[in-house]
Amino acid sequence: MKQCTQCGAYSDDSAKFCTSCGQPFGEEATEVQPAYYAADESISEVYTPKVTTKKEFLDLPENAPAKRTLKTSGIFCYFCAGVTLVFGIATGNYLSVVDFLILLVLGLFIHLKQSKVCAILLAAYAALNVIIGLIAYHNFRGVLIILAAVYAVTSAFKLDKSWKEYQAK
């Protein structure tokens, strides 16, 4: 890691310019080893690297619980997709393949990309699924889809709010 002599920010060794102030790195750039926790207890500062992309931000340890919840939501979607496909084919409802694909794609984007848009689409799909189930079959269906949607929406919005707060710093 390089430390800028002008502003004191840290950048990768391969950086030619400071990511904080734009100062070019020359011979005078100091090399430092990143440490998340100070080795000396008398030092109260903790080194926190400045991330520049949302992907790097999502990989920070404080975002692990929300990412884990989104991963769980994606897995719920995969499970619901599989159940939908099996029961649809078993009952001769071959249009269930469309439901399978919708749940699979939404689950993939929620799980792998932490997509807020797909979380909202999953919530809309879950609501539509419940309404159709009540009208057509006179019973409440799609409990796991609703659960996955609630977890996905709350976690995605929490991560998005954290990202916006981080950018404002």
Residue 33 shares a structural domain with residue 79: no
Q: How confident is the model at residue 60 (pLDDT cuts 50, 70, 90)?
A: confident
Residue 22 zone, left/alpha/beta (φ > 0; ψ -120 to 50; rest): left
C-alpha distance from residue 48 to each of 1, 11, 54, 57, 114 (Å): 12, 12, 16, 11, 23
Q: Say yes or no to pLDDT of 122 above 90.
A: yes
Residue 77 shares a structural domain with residue 130: yes
Residue 42 shares a structural domain with residue 63: no
Q: Say yes or no to pLDDT of 7 above 90.
A: no
Residue 46 shares a structural domain with residue 67: no
Averaged pLDDT for residues 123-131:
93
**What's the residue count for the chain?**
169
Residue 148 shares a structural domain with residue 129: yes
Radius of gyration of the chain (CA): 23
Share above pLDDT 90 across residues of the chain, in percent, rounded to a whole number = 36
**Domain extent at residue 93:** 57-168
Q: Are 33 and 49 in contact (CB under 8 A)?
A: no
The confidence score (pLDDT) of residue 37 equals 47
Instruction: Provide DSSP, 17-30.
Output: B-TTT-PBP-TTPE
Residue 43 shares a structural domain with residue 68: no
pLDDT tens-digit readout, 13-46: 777 777 777 777 765 545 554 444 445 555 555 5
Count of domains in the chain? 2
Residue 38 shares a structural domain with residue 120: no
Residue 97 shares a structural domain with residue 145: yes
The confidence score (pLDDT) of residue 33 equals 47
Residue 72 shares a structural domain with residue 144: yes
Averaged pLDDT for residues 141-163:
90
**pTM passes above 0.85:** no
Residue 35 shares a structural domain with residue 80: no
Averaged pLDDT for residues 142-153:
90
Share above pLDDT 70 across residues of the chain, in percent, rounded to a whole number = 85
Q: Say yes or no to pLDDT of 74 above 70.
A: yes
The confidence score (pLDDT) of residue 41 equals 55
